[in-house]
Amino acid sequence: MFKEVILGVPISAEFIRLGLFDTIPGLAFAQELVTLPLAVFILQGTFSSIPREIEYQAKIDGASTLSYILKVLVPTTSPGIIAAFLISWMFSWDEFTYAVILSPIHPTWPVEIYLNITRGNILAAIAFSLVFTIPVIILTILLQKYLRGEYLTGGIKS
């Protein structure tokens, strides 16, 4: 939380200069500061866990580089790709700090929920929270079948 507050003020000053203050692209660029390092960390671990022997086996079987990427690499790494997407999306979906600092005129849903709670409009805040939470639940249920870590076991025989 503290890191985002420290970064939010200089980012907002720069976004005012660039014309990105209180815009959706500006908020998306600021959110990349949080989600991109995390996604790169997850994807680096995912791609580095694939043995080189799988690539060699695909080349021996006559697969081109594009064919190897599309038919072997992407299906094998899809759990890590989906995990990186899901975590990045969830961090972006409920972002509050950057939304308060960078989008004060057109508030996002988390800011709108906060404003309704502080104004005493609890029923509107509950309704916003319910509508806000439903996409997270649906997307997590739809993607949970892909979030398993045992896909690489048995890919290589010694």
Q: Is the pTM of this model over 0.95?
A: no
**154, part of any domain:** no
pLDDT in tens, 2-30: 677 787 788 888 888 999 888 888 888 88
- CATH code for position 67: 1.10.3720.10
**158, part of any domain:** no
Which pLDDT band holds residue 147 (cuts at 50, 70, 90)? low
Segments in 19-145 forming alpha helices (H): 24-48, 52-60, 65-68, 74-93, 97-102, 109-118, 122-143
Q: CA gyration radius for the chain? A: 21
**121, part of any domain:** yes
Distance between CA atoms of 51 and 14, rounded to whole angstroms? Answer: 44
**151, part of any domain:** no
**155, part of any domain:** no
**Amino acid 32: pLDDT:** 87
Range of the domain at 111: 2-146
Which residue, 94, 110, 90, is CA-closest to 42?
A: 90
**153, part of any domain:** no
- If phi > 0 it is left, if psi is from -120 to 50 it is alpha, else beta; for residue 120 that is left
pLDDT mean across residues, the chain: 82
What's the whole-number mean pLDDT along residues 21-49?
A: 88
Number of domains in the chain: 1
Between vectors from CA 94 to CA 108 and to CA 39, what angle results, nearest 5°? 125
